[in-house]
Amino acid sequence: MLGFFFANVLSTIPAQTGDWGIMSGAIIATTNEILSQIIYNKNKSFINNLINNTKIGIIYGLFVDAFKLGS
């Protein structure tokens, strides 16, 4: 749920001006890849699982927002 909330925040706040869409998408994708590299190179712990679950929630939330905009 926390990742889904963050996805709503990430998709609405930068888009208010209309010119931050590409930059915010690039930042989200880069952050996602960096977190994936950190998480999958280390041992599994509670913090790594929490970060991974939040990351999955953000990606899921962005897909849901994209489907809402496309319909």
pLDDT band at 36 (very low <50, low <70, confident <90, very high): confident
Q: Quick one: pLDDT at residue 71?
A: 63
Per the structure, how many domains does the chain have? 1
What is the pTM (predicted TM-score) of this model?
Answer: 0.63
Residue range of the domain that includes 64: 2-70
| pLDDT number for residue 32 | 82
> Is residue 62 pLDDT above 70, yes or no?
yes
Q: How many CB atoms lie within 10 A of CB 61?
A: 20
Q: Do the Cβ atoms of 11 and 63 come closer than 8 Å?
A: no
| 21-30: pLDDT as tens digits | 677 777 878 8
